[in-house]
Structure 1
């Protein structure tokens, strides 16, 4: 199967929308087990499955239609209350949702046919669905109906939505709108999909106002069809086939055994050859020859200019005219409704639009280059001392800043989508562990850069699984400790000081700091008798290979995972810390920047080097007191402020100026002072990666290009303070080991 360019674009839209629908289906399915009112959720799940099925039929993806058809039939019975909602039902529906996701992934990869491995998995899922479809009220299974269901799987046309009618010939008159092709719709795909509901007995292709060849537009649709469909489907099922083109197309559907005047309406509305249409009506069995002659005769009489008395005297014509007036009223009402639907649809289109991620990334890159170029122009203007030029460049920089903020806002997405995916993880892992755990989500509407959302999934997965495995106790232990049998895992997000905070909390047993410290001393990570704060002890679990688990499980206990979490968070210029209380629970708190592209920075200089401090971390600036020149701390309004001397940290050569400055920075509850030579003011900073060559350098968050063309390094305040703390701990550990060694030598002597 091959598609032209327009159909490929439509197929890509189908893939994106199907994935969105499947995510919604999974979220709704997970909510069924904990919701008292499930009517809306079931209806939404059914609509999602029905939309995927209908769209798949338009593209000739019959294997998706076949699988979804059985799923849709089951959901229809759930809607009607014939099948009760239960954990067992949800346990079957969730794998079906996963299977549809795999089918969509294969289609996205270019495999439009049914793969053997997925077909076998789909058949197995159909068996599980069949057990619910054929279950009697007493819980037993009707094997005869089950066998009939096997036949339905191979022939989806034999089962339809709603109440089925006796198999008969439906007459469909289809006139597709002129923009059908432009909208990515293939008229023939609708005919193919009709064949899944029954047998297309006859088909005539007609043209709608076909112009001369030189006046034809290759993107305009001139096609129409007269179709006879033999099916036992309901009218609703057949109408749903055309739900994507209803707004700009004319779709007429006449059920089997309809009255003659309904066919007359179609014939009267068609400008084509009546004899040709009559032939298909007779051959298909929709009308007999005598009935057709009656239709044509009544049509001829209708076209004559009859007086009101003549019309009233001819009862059949009078009845038809009365019905026509009613029909016109209905058509007028439908037209007004359709206009309103079009207006609503266009309004929704104005509210939101899909943008390809690559185009958005390209826009951000261009905005970044614009920021750099604007900074260069502003720097050169400042050297000219031209007031008018300075005012112009300042206005340009103000507009560039607004463009930057607007462009970055386009990349902001709510983190709730990422959080919702863990509903499934918590459900599956809790069943695997034999624990009763529920997930509570808050702050889902907190927005963050999409690049951050894409990269935070794996660290969150490790933290969630670790909390469920090590943090939350089994129901028996919880009850013995006076806790509820059901454990609670919480995901929360909020903004704070230009950062986003993501918390993974549980009401489990908490971290045993004595056990962690003893393990760290045993491994030589901490010197004996070292005085560490609780937070410093908890941070030891992020060391590579560190684990206090007594047993290794399928989920954790091997000492891998938590160090990966810290490494990934650091790569996002973020930090992670832990709060815990024995017997109460623990909270893993991740602090990340809102964006990874462009930030407001504060430019400082040390020697011949320039550094950018993220402005969100800057608290204040002050001059280094003369009596603190050789100290690593100072008294800041009654608070001890430790120093980080950038000259020593990065081994920068050159003479130390007589006057040095301190940039007071902080993140979370940590505060420190950066000792620098020069304060150079605020600076719009475009973040550039350092590359693999500098991956080993700690305390840096990237680089940027100054207006002068020089390169400045961007400081990662969280990573820098952690680096400084680690260096001080190593000094203390080395000093302690030296003292212990000297003591042993004295004892030996």
Structure 2
């Protein structure tokens, strides 16, 4: 990994840390005991500062140093995080994020950015004991009375370069916490030219560092490479025994290490002779024991406890290191290849059936099972938890509620629900519209809530769960519900509804998805321009999803978004109408039944219940004569059931979804296409749209008798 790749990793990790920091800040505002949240906030700021220092991003280091100083005061209990400090810290998160965005784009922050930074620094320093002091200067030039010379012995591991780390960057960063007096580079581990690995690291350093920093601060410099190096520290004014331990621990010859220690100024010639004398004693334990007792070293049980703790930390880091980052483009390429593999395997299976070779067919069955496992594993690589998307709305609710003067709580459930990464990325903007709408239009004012006997704090809910092979996301609020009278009046004013027309409640609710529709009395930062809900519907539809809305006057509104789990490969059920082939998503198929009714009704009796029918031949205008015996594929979507009348059932198969060209994007009832193993093209049915069409058709056509009418109404 070169420095450019490492810098990209820093930008990515910095954004993750900022997101964690923001979540912890919002949690600290709500939590009665915020100590753990404050520690998490401090660690995030400290890690960003340290990483930025490795790459020479001095602007980020200077700002986060002041931020870290304030957070240190919070940890010490000198400053309360609640109150005016909390929104200031949130703005600091945004500012560091702006730094990261600017640096990633290769642009220097402009005057507006620096003006914001100056304002934030003044406000941050107001929380420090010495607001006029420059903390970054204090860190670089410690008070002389607190100075001391530390000796650092570092041996970098062979894989440190492969892991994207630059050893010299860590050494350079030491200058930010003190003054490097002397440094000796040790090339002793460099092999012969024939055995040299150009990607391996063989470097070691002995460093004399003058600083007022403590051991934890010095060790934190090497936090990101601690598992890839051996770091030993000897504090200022240490006795000879400390250097005896160091000489014994290092791999080089004792005489050479002693010479290096003298060159660094860490020990004198006399102390070196004494240390080497102890090193050569046959049994140095008594001498060393006396020296340790003289220095007041800690008890053995304390040392053992510390070692146990260190082992636990290393095990945790090892577990965290078991995950790797994969470039999204490489992952997309893998999914594409898996899709081609699925198509090729389907073609091989059909070829095996044509030659009627049982051994070949068994081999293809084994191949199909393996391909399906590979497909599932590849798709799982793209599956991510939706909780990360949900968590970003805590800040939205916090800021917008404060702007509107409302007390609102965000309740999140189903954070562990997984769906395709591509779907998650495209879902952010629609959900943002829905959440902001729930805050602005949904949650009523404190006065209205008091008059209706509701709690002063409003609730906006985000919920996700799996249903019939799809993911369902609900955005709800406990506000006043939709004002249908105002919506209808606005729709008549715009000519969307005729003056004498009296639409049903659910039809009125759907009017808010019309382009440019708004009932806001004035334009604000949040609403009034009629841009929002129509965009939500368009974006969800583009993802092969659907949007439904349910509102209860005085109780609240729930918007339900239904989306496919993946946009790449699905299990499909193939059917045929004449010479045309279609694919029904397998997760929506309930059952298949034979059908021979020729009465022309668009519904049938299925075990005592009314089942609306959609004849694909008529829906798509395919023509031809239907066979005497047809089949019904019973599908279910969002609690609604209908039957698809087809000529033949071809069975289940893995289906690679291919998007339709722009020319066919508006074709009703089709969501995509698929290339079959035979080379033919099959169309993938948009089951939610077809089911909605069937139910709407039957709702407008009364059945021939009251009994059928009652059963049909119950079904719809």
Q: TM-score, normalised by structure 2?
A: 0.89
Q: Which runs of 5+ in 2 are unaligned?
A: 703-716
Q: What residue number does 1:646 align with? A: 616
Q: What residue number does 1:368 align with? A: 339
1:43 and 2:43 aligned: no
Q: What residue number does 1:691 align with? A: 661
Q: What residue number does 2:126 align with? A: 131
Contact persistence 1:14–1:55 (CA under 8 A): yes
- Deviation larger for 340-349 or 55-64: 340-349
What secondary structure does 1:657 align onto?
A: coil
Shift of 1:372: 1.1
Q: Give the direction of change, closer, same or farther, for the CA distance of 1:622–1:103 in structure 2 (3 Å limit).
A: same
What secondary structure does 1:129 align onto?
A: helix
Contact persistence 1:647–1:676 (CA under 8 A): yes
CA distance in 2, matches of 1:49, 1:122: 16
What secondary structure does 1:10 align onto?
A: helix
Q: What residue number does 1:184 align with? A: 164
Contact persistence 2:241–2:288 (CA under 8 A): no
1:60 and 2:56 aligned: yes
1:241-260 superposed Cα distances (whole Å, 9 cap, x missing partner): 12233344332333333334
CA distance in 2, matches of 1:221, 1:391: 52
Contact persistence 1:513–1:537 (CA under 8 A): yes
**1:246-261 correspondence runs (5 A):** 246-261=226-241
Shift of 1:126: 1.4
1:70-128 superposed Cα distances (whole Å, 9 cap, x missing partner): 111111111111111213211011111122222223343346x7766544433322111
Q: What residue number does 1:454 align with? A: 425
1:633-688 superposed Cα distances (whole Å, 9 cap, x missing partner): 33444444333332233222333433333323231132333232322222221100
In the comparison of the two structures, how many residue pairs are matched?
697
Q: What residue number does 2:555 align with? A: 584
1:440 and 2:411 aligned: yes
Contact persistence 1:535–1:577 (CA under 8 A): no
CA distance in 2, matches of 1:327, 1:267: 20
1:409-446 superposed Cα distances (whole Å, 9 cap, x missing partner): 22221111101000001111111212111111011111
1:297 and 2:273 aligned: yes
Contact persistence 1:414–1:446 (CA under 8 A): yes
CA distance in 2, matches of 1:133, 1:159: 18
Shift of 1:565: 0.7
Q: What residue number does 2:131 align with? A: 146
1:168 and 2:151 aligned: no
What secondary structure does 1:225 align onto?
A: strand
What secondary structure does 1:33 align onto?
A: helix
Q: What residue number does 1:670 align with? A: 640
Task: Give the one of 569, 573, 586 matched to 2:540.
Answer: 569
Q: What residue number does 2:589 align with? A: 618
Q: What residue number does 1:377 align with? A: 348
What secondary structure does 1:612 align onto?
A: strand
Shift of 1:508: 0.3
Shift of 1:159: 7.0
CA distance in 2, matches of 1:593, 1:88: 43
1:108 and 2:110 aligned: no
1:386 and 2:376 aligned: no
Contact persistence 2:26–2:394 (CA under 8 A): yes
1:2-56 superposed Cα distances (whole Å, 9 cap, x missing partner): xxx4333333332322222111111111111111121111111111111222222
Q: What residue number does 1:236 align with? A: 216
1:72 and 2:68 aligned: yes
CA distance in 2, matches of 1:123, 1:17: 25
1:292-346 superposed Cα distances (whole Å, 9 cap, x missing partner): 24303313532554788xx97xxx8773376799799798987776666545544
Task: Give the one of 493, 497, 501 matched to 2:468.
Answer: 497
Q: Give the direction of change, closer, same or farther, for the CA distance of 1:182–1:337 in structure 2 (3 Å limit).
A: farther
What secondary structure does 1:46 align onto?
A: helix
Shift of 1:514: 3.6
Q: Give the direction of change, closer, same or farther, for the CA distance of 1:679–1:249 in structure 2 (3 Å limit).
A: closer
1:208 and 2:204 aligned: no
1:660 and 2:614 aligned: no
Contact persistence 1:247–1:338 (CA under 8 A): no
Q: What residue number does 2:713 align with? A: none
What secondary structure does 1:133 align onto?
A: coil
Shift of 1:398: 2.3
Shift of 1:495: 1.1
Q: What residue number does 1:157 align with? A: 140
Q: What residue number does 2:262 align with? A: 278
1:124-158 superposed Cα distances (whole Å, 9 cap, x missing partner): 22111111123xxxxxxxxxx2212xx22455435
1:451-482 superposed Cα distances (whole Å, 9 cap, x missing partner): 11111111111111111111111111211221
Q: Give the direction of change, closer, same or farther, for the CA distance of 1:627–1:532 in structure 2 (3 Å limit).
A: farther
Shift of 1:591: 1.0
CA distance in 1, matches of 2:305, 2:74: 34
Shift of 1:521: 4.2
What secondary structure does 2:121 align onto?
A: helix
CA distance in 2, matches of 1:590, 1:612: 23
Q: What residue number does 1:30 align with? A: 26
CA distance in 2, matches of 1:44, 1:324: 36
Contact persistence 2:633–2:643 (CA under 8 A): yes
Contact persistence 1:690–1:703 (CA under 8 A): yes
Q: What residue number does 1:742 align with? A: none
Shift of 1:729: 10
CA distance in 1, matches of 2:587, 2:263: 79
